[in-house]
Amino acid sequence: MTSTPSAAERTGRGIRVAVIDSGVAPRHPHIGPIAGGASVDLDGRVIKGAFDDLLGHGTAVMAAMQEKAPDAEYHAVRVFHRELRTSAQGLCAAIDWCLDQQMDVVNLSLGTVNAAHAEMLGAAVTRASAAGTWIVAARDAEGKPCYPGCLPDVIGVGLDWECAREAYRIAQTDGQLALFASGYPRPVPGVPPRRNLQGISFAVANACGFVIRAREAMGAAPSSELWNFLSPLNSPEASRLG
pLDDT reported for residue 173: 81
Q: What is the pLDDT of residues 29-74, one digit of tens each?
A: 999 999 999 999 999 999 998 999 999 999 999 999 999 999 999 9
pTM: 0.91
Task: Please give the pLDDT value at position 186.
Answer: 81
What does the pLDDT read at residue 231?
A: 79
Give the CA distances from residue 148 to residues 7, 29, 157, in Å, rounded to whole numbers and listed in that order.
25, 31, 11
Query: Domains plus CATH for the chain?
Result: 7-236 (3.40.50.200)
Return the pLDDT at 7.
61
Q: Which long-range contacts (CB under 8 A, 24 or more apart) does 231-237 make?
A: 231/170, 234/3, 234/4, 234/6, 234/7, 235/6, 235/7, 235/8, 235/210, 236/6, 236/8, 237/6, 237/7, 237/8, 237/166, 237/167, 237/168, 237/210
- Percent of the chain predicted with pLDDT > 90: 75
| b/e sequence 128-140, b meaning 16+ C-beta within 10 Å | bbeeebbbbbbbb
pLDDT confidence bin for 242, thresholds 50/70/90: very low
Evaluate whether 134 touches 215 at the Cβ level (below 8 Å): yes
- Do the beta carbons of residue 238 and residue 169 sit within 8 Å? yes
> Phi/psi of residue 42, each to 5°?
-65, -25
Secondary structure letter of residue 20 according to DSSP? E
137-173 pLDDT, tens digit each: 999 988 899 999 999 999 999 999 999 999 999 998 8
Whether 5 shows a pLDDT value over 70: the answer reads no
pLDDT tens per residue across span 69-116: 999 999 999 999 988 899 999 999 999 999 999 999 999 999 999 999
Q: What is the pLDDT of residue 195?
A: 59
Q: Give pLDDT tens digits for 175-230.
A: 889 999 999 988 776 665 665 677 999 999 999 999 999 999 999 899 999 998 88
Burial class, 17, CB count within 10 angstroms (exposed 0-12 / middle 13-18 / buried 19+): buried
Does the pLDDT value for residue 123 go beyond 90? Answer: yes
Q: What pLDDT is attached to residue 225? A: 92
Cα gap 134→128, rounded to integer Å: 7
The span from the CA of 82 to the CA of 78, in Å, is 11
Is-cis flag, bond preceding 192, omega within 30? no
